[in-house]
Amino acid sequence: MTYKLNFDQDEHFDFDDNFPSLGALAKYEPAMVERVRKSWEDERRFVREHLAPLVLSEDLQHAKNPDHISWEMLRLAGRHGRLAQYIPGFMGGKGNALGISMMVNLEEQASVDCAFCGMMGGHGLGLAAVFMSLNMKILQRVADRIAARQNEEKPYVIDCAITEPTAGTDVEEVELYPKARLMCQAKRVPGGAVLNGRKVFISTGHMATDHVVIMPFDQKDAVNTMGCFLVAGDTRGFSLGRMERKMGQKAGSASELIFEDCLVPDDNILLTQDQFPGEKFQNQYKFVLHGVLGMTRTAVGAWSTGTARGAFDRALYLAKRIKYKGRTLIHQQWAQAILTNMHINVMMARGAYLDSQFALMRGFEKIPLVTGFPAWIGDSQVLAWLFRQNWYRKFLHSPWMHGQIMDYVRSSISEDQDARVQQISSLAKVVGSDMAMENCQLATEFLGQAGLRHDQGVEKIFRDAKLLQIFEGTNQLNRLNIFTHYLARHLSGVEVF
């Protein structure tokens, strides 16, 4: 039996109701906001018309077979251009890089299926790491493959491998690396690097064609010797280990990656310290990690907001249909108060992730791949032609240009800007995921037996929501990160971590 999630077809909750801050911004940047609006409308149609029919049946398949991989859902994403949606048009993608549209669309996706966001999130995290390496040669190669293979039986996707079995949350903050018990290590050899160790809980690991791997050359000085590598799935010495048995977000696999004398050629090394010796490139890993976390924690905030809204949407839909003491729930004052609290939680979470996105746009404004391109650049046919020319690619992909781009970007980001991004992105993640859990609990209790039925989608979204408080740094770690980069920055002499 196939179940389909139900949604009210009346559009009471339109763009202006949901995003009044963007409505105000439209006075100053009308073209940008209109682009976000159209992208949001397209995403809403996609998730309601195409994704919703798959959500519950996919979850049931995972319940029956823990080794099931959601290839059908991945193919759906490919057919509708979602795998290339954050790659700018002039590089062969569908979208306008990351920017506001990414966050707004993530919320819309998660309101229908938090697990679909988990699947897309693993791929997106890999892209974020490639973007932040500023290695245009590998970025263009990855973009070309994603765009060319979206309609294949197994589309080209990537992941990002950071977490290790014995290190856990310590790998999420540069300041905690001295305490981390790292087990992975890279070694320089002629023509490349050899990787050894294991990575765990890697989102989309069993779906990914290639893997973006973060690994140090010296475990005792990990921050200053960290390397970033693109490992092809068929590389000798690389293998997939177990796929975790998860409570929720089952469509997005969480995988173990194993490296046993795995040779990565120079052409697949995204970034290492020895590529750019010299004082101006010191702490470049901190810059890459902070940039990636700034984006991904903001994204988890948007994703969590969508999850909170999904719980609210389901509760509202059922409140119009379930009767209690002869009247539908929607007409009872106590029910109205609960629904209103759920709506307030959504609005608070949305405000937090939008503020975080605005901080990213200011803090990383010199990296349009992160903050979003103006429409005239993103859709430029001249740039699209230029990026297809071998002579231009050879120039743009040269080690010299890589160094120039990195120097330009690094010099444009101040310590204060970086700190603001770190604290507000952690805030967006904490507020959003806590509100998601609160709304899921409210919806389950509010709906009684209906809240426990799989075919209503409420118990599934409750299972899905818990992970949002755990990954991209636990909420406890992110609270410490907020203190470090906001309160402690203005309080001299305070010991942190």
Domains of the chain (ranges, CATH numbers): 15-153+285-490 (1.20.140.10), 158-275 (2.40.110.10)
Q: What is the pLDDT of residue 282?
A: 63
Average pLDDT over residues 339-367: 91
Contact 169, 132 (CB under 8 A): no
Q: What count of other Cβ atoms lies within 10 Å of the Cβ of residue 344?
A: 13
Question: Helix 52-64 vs helix 71-79: angle between axes, to the nearest 10 degrees?
Answer: 160
Given a cut of 70, is residue 321 above it in pLDDT? Answer: yes
Condensed to tens digits (0 to 9), the pLDDT of residues 356-365 reads 999 988 877 7
Q: What count of other Cβ atoms lies within 10 Å of the Cβ of residue 73?
A: 22
DSSP string, 314-327: HHHHHHTT-EETTE
Q: How far is the C-alpha of 110 from the C-alpha of 126, rounded, in Å?
A: 19
Q: What angle do CA 246, 251, 256 make, to 5 degrees?
A: 55
Task: Sort strands 158-161 and 210-216 into parallel, antiparallel or unpaired.
Answer: parallel
**11 contact partners, CB below 8 Å, separation of at least 6:** none
Q: What is the pLDDT of residue 278?
A: 67
Q: What is the pLDDT of residue 257?
A: 98
What percentage of the chain exceeds 90 in pLDDT?
60
pTM of the model: 0.92
| In the block, residue with structure tokens 């070694």 | 187
Q: What is the pLDDT of residue 170?
A: 79
Q: How far is the C-alpha of 308 from the C-alpha of 434, rounded, in Å?
A: 9
| In the block, residue with structure tokens 């949901």 | 18
Q: What is the pLDDT of residue 10?
A: 54
What percentage of the chain exceeds 70 in pLDDT?
93
Q: How far is the C-alpha of 126 from the C-alpha of 89, rounded, in Å?
A: 19
Condensed to tens digits (0 to 9), the pLDDT of residues 223-238 reads 888 999 999 999 999 9
Put residue 142 in one of left, alpha, beta given phi > 0 → left and psi -120 to 50 → alpha.
Answer: alpha
Given a cut of 50, is residue 1 above it in pLDDT? Answer: no
The pLDDT-based confidence of 406 (bands split at 50, 70, 90) is confident
**27 contact partners, CB below 8 Å, separation of at least 6:** none
Please name the helix (run of DSSP H) or strand (run of DSSP E) that holds residue 394, with its range, or none.
Answer: helix 390-396
Q: What angle do CA 469, 308, 345 make, to 5 degrees?
A: 100
Q: What count of other Cβ atoms lies within 10 Å of the Cβ of residue 267?
A: 11
Condensed to tens digits (0 to 9), the pLDDT of residues 410-435 reads 777 888 888 999 999 999 999 999 99
Q: What is the pLDDT of residue 248?
A: 93
Q: Environment class of residue 391 by beta-carbon count within 10 Å: exposed (0-12), middle (13-18) or buried (19+)?
A: exposed
Condensed to tens digits (0 to 9), the pLDDT of residues 255-309 reads 999 999 999 999 999 998 877 766 655 667 777 788 888 889 999 999 999 999 9
User: Shortest CA distance to 378 belongs to which of 78, 18, 74, 93?
Assistant: 93
Average pLDDT over residues 76-101: 82
Given a cut of 50, is residue 2 above it in pLDDT? Answer: no
Condensed to tens digits (0 to 9), the pLDDT of residues 471-484 reads 888 999 999 999 99
Given a cut of 50, is residue 495 above it in pLDDT? Answer: yes
The beta strand positions in 283-394, using DSSP E, are: 323-324, 327-328
Average pLDDT over residues 32-45: 90
Condensed to tens digits (0 to 9), the pLDDT of residues 178-215 reads 888 899 999 999 999 999 999 999 999 999 999 999 99
